[in-house]
Amino acid sequence: MNKLSYFAPATAANLAAGFEIFGMALEGPGDIVTIEKASHNSIEVISISGDRGKLPSDPKKNTAAVAVSFLLKHLNLDQGLNISIEKHLPLCSGMGSSAASAAAAVAAANELLEANLPLRELVPFAMEAERVACGSAHADNVAPSLLGGITLIRSYYPLDIINLPFPENLHYALVNPNIEIDTKSARALVPQKFSQQQTVSQTGNAAAFVTALATGNYELLKSSCEDFLAEPYRASLIAGFSLVKQAALDAGATGAGLSGSGPSMFAFSDSLSGAKKCADAMQEIFQKQQIQSKQYVSKIPKAGARKITPK
Amino acid sequence: MNKLSYFAPATAANLAAGFEIFGMALEGPGDIVTIEKASHNSIEVISISGDRGKLPSDPKKNTAAVAVSFLLKHLNLDQGLNISIEKHLPLCSGMGSSAASAAAAVAAANELLEANLPLRELVPFAMEAERVACGSAHADNVAPSLLGGITLIRSYYPLDIINLPFPENLHYALVNPNIEIDTKSARALVPQKFSQQQTVSQTGNAAAFVTALATGNYELLKSSCEDFLAEPYRASLIAGFSLVKQAALDAGATGAGLSGSGPSMFAFSDSLSGAKKCADAMQEIFQKQQIQSKQYVSKIPKAGARKITPK
């Protein structure tokens, strides 16, 4: 086999109560990365589509290439590779764009090079790509993009990732307004220190959130979707943040908040039609402010990165 | 009915990953409080046994009396009451001594006065007793003492308490060394601000801890019993803290740590015999340092405060 392609989904990180620790895979959209063995000895990004020319093809800066190069280093291989990237999700959207390319690339290379590491073990390589993309090797997007479902980063040192149990009928609405937020700047808004009360409140909600998921308690899910660490500082970046969140809740959402560092926002529902209602209500608020947006509505998928046959 | 008695159990708060939010009821020991309608109009503490004369009978300072007086205020009653307290658990032990008296008292008064509030609604009155006892109206001991099992305080404002699901075979070992630690001083050791990394690590472990309980994953329970907020600052108060913890883990504990603000320490196990082994190993380390200790070993009880017929 000389060439293969992987899809890795968009993701919503943080999920209100889980700054840096929770992340959820979306059913779509996602990025497709094709990796091909090359006769040269280096890693080259030979094509990028769907990025409107914004992504670097320099392998030291491109997240797909960075993730793959860390995998190669780990495997002690100097196989040359050509990487082609099809971006199907917007940049700087709070939907884990950089993570999806890195996840798809590292998963594809893993199979192409017959390394056959479990997807879980690929997370650290994709995290290195996040370090390049946003200055911090966080795992809350790459973990769900690789593993699917809803993930918890219990610990970064050592890295310990858990797939959280969640109810079969859990659906999300994700609305992506046409605003770009640079992850690095959004991260800089979050304080380096938190008060005892902020910390205790955040741990209480994080613990309640996973209890709600494990027991299918939607009322608790709703009350636990509260963020004391990041949302209060980032909300001002998104026009009408509180109104959009309230619109989702008024439309029946069982929890809502910022997706990653924004500007996308998520809401939970126990049905597809319920999620659609929330997405419509959220879009309406953006629309009133002359902000175009896209909606994505689905069940939460159990699969993350997977091999595909490109069209 | 003119008189009745309630038992409320000792409790272990914090449980490593849950500073201020997790608490667990113990099977025993606990305090017994008898409340009797009086002809006078005030609340009087007419007897305290088992405290070696250390507890105040001043109704403004005694936790049982304070909790009852807040309940009376809430009920808008000025019924006079006589309170008798049998302490069966050591003071300043990290076993929720002040909370157990308050919980038993307020539960007894609730029934005697035919208020019939659910036990859950009595928590705020018992919290006021904690404010008097240790300067902070925390709920992580009074909640499990009233409600039993393992409780999570999701939020203090508004107060939201959740009974966490946990495995049927979850057992605890609790070892109480003969050292007194004043809760107020132990609380003062905990910083008022935490770094972003401490906060993220604590939320990760708190979320993992409840996931482990909900799914019966003992390996995860063990790794998630890690405290970044209080234990590192309080450990020095307990002679040989790290050795005792390690002894419990070496004896097969699936998690261990400080009970409340100490000096008691807890360990988890999936069997009674396993818990006994842990308790023995922990006691041995205290013994080597010439510190006497007591051990308590049991399944985690589902019941909290309950009416009893005093002997």
Which of A154, A161, A163, A205 is the mutation pick for testing B, counting most B CBs within 10 A?
A: A154
pLDDT tens for residues B55-105? 999 999 999 999 999 999 999 998 999 999 999 988 888 899 999 999 999
* pLDDT tier at A184, thresholds 50, 70, 90: confident
Q: Are A203 and B18 within 8 A, CB to CB?
A: yes
Q: Are B17 and A203 within 8 A, CB to CB?
A: yes
Q: Angle at CA B176, nearest 5°, toward B174 and B181? A: 125
Residue type, A263: P
Is B36 in the active site?
A: no
* pLDDT tier at B310, thresholds 50, 70, 90: low
Identity of the residue in A196, A202, A210 whose CB atom sits nearest the CB atom of B211? A210
Bridge pairing between strands A43-49 and A81-86: parallel
**CA atoms B56, B57, B58, B59: torsion sign:** positive
B203: closest chain A residue by CA: A203
- Tell me which chain B residues have a C-beta less than 8 angstroms from the C-beta of A224: 154
What is the pLDDT of chain B when averaged over all its residues?
Answer: 95
Q: Are A210 and B215 within 8 A, CB to CB?
A: no
pLDDT at A62: 96
Kindly report the nearest CA distance between residue A208 and chain B, in angstroms: 6
Identity of the residue in B156, B192, B224 whose CB atom sits nearest the CB atom of A154? B224
Catalytic residue among B27, B86, B130, B231: B130
Q: Is the pLDDT of residue A311 over 70?
A: no
What residues of A are annotated to the active site?
Answer: 130, 183
Q: Are A203 and B200 within 8 A, CB to CB?
A: no
Which domains does chain B carry? 3-164+301-308 (3.30.230.10), 171-299 (3.30.70.890)
Is B130 in the active site?
A: yes
pLDDT at A293: 97
pLDDT higher at A1 or B106: B106
- Residue tagged 């994700």 (tokens): A174
B188: Cβ contacts below 8 Å, ≥ 6 apart: none
pLDDT tens for residues B6-53? 999 999 999 999 999 999 999 989 999 999 999 998 999 999 999 888
Residues of B with CB under 8 A from a CB of A: 17-22, 152-156, 160, 162, 164-165, 190-196, 198-211, 214-215, 220, 223-224, 226, 229
Kindly report the nearest CA distance between residue A50 and chain B, in angstroms: 34
Q: What is the dihedral of CA A7, A8, A9, A12, to 10 degrees?
A: -170
Q: Are B152 and A220 within 8 A, CB to CB?
A: no
Q: Which helix (H) or strand (E) holds B249?
A: helix B241-250
Q: ipTM of the assembly?
A: 0.94
- Tell me which chain B residues have a C-beta less than 8 angstroms from the C-beta of A198: 199
- Tell me which chain B residues have a C-beta less than 8 angstroms from the C-beta of A206: 203-204, 206-207
**CA atoms B73, B79, B80, B85: torsion sign:** negative
* DSSP character at residue B300: P
Mean pLDDT is lowest, of A210-214, B87-91, B213-217, B253-257, for: B87-91
A192: closest chain B residue by CA: B196
Q: Angle at CA A99, nearest 5°, toward A95 and A105? A: 135
Kindly report the nearest CA distance between residue B200 and chain A, in angstroms: 7
pLDDT tens for residues A45-94? 999 999 888 899 999 999 999 999 999 999 999 899 999 999 998 888 88
| Residue B124 and residue B70 in contact, taking contact as beta carbons nearer than 8 Å | yes
| Residue A268 and residue A209 in contact, taking contact as beta carbons nearer than 8 Å | no
pLDDT tens for residues B177-207? 998 787 778 888 999 999 999 999 999 999 9
- Tell me which chain B residues have a C-beta less than 8 angstroms from the C-beta of A223: 154-155, 160
pLDDT at B188: 86
* pLDDT tier at A310, thresholds 50, 70, 90: low
Q: Are A154 and B191 within 8 A, CB to CB?
A: no
Tell me how far apart the alpha carbons of residues B69 and B84 are, in angstroms, rounded to a whole number. Answer: 15
* DSSP character at residue A120: G
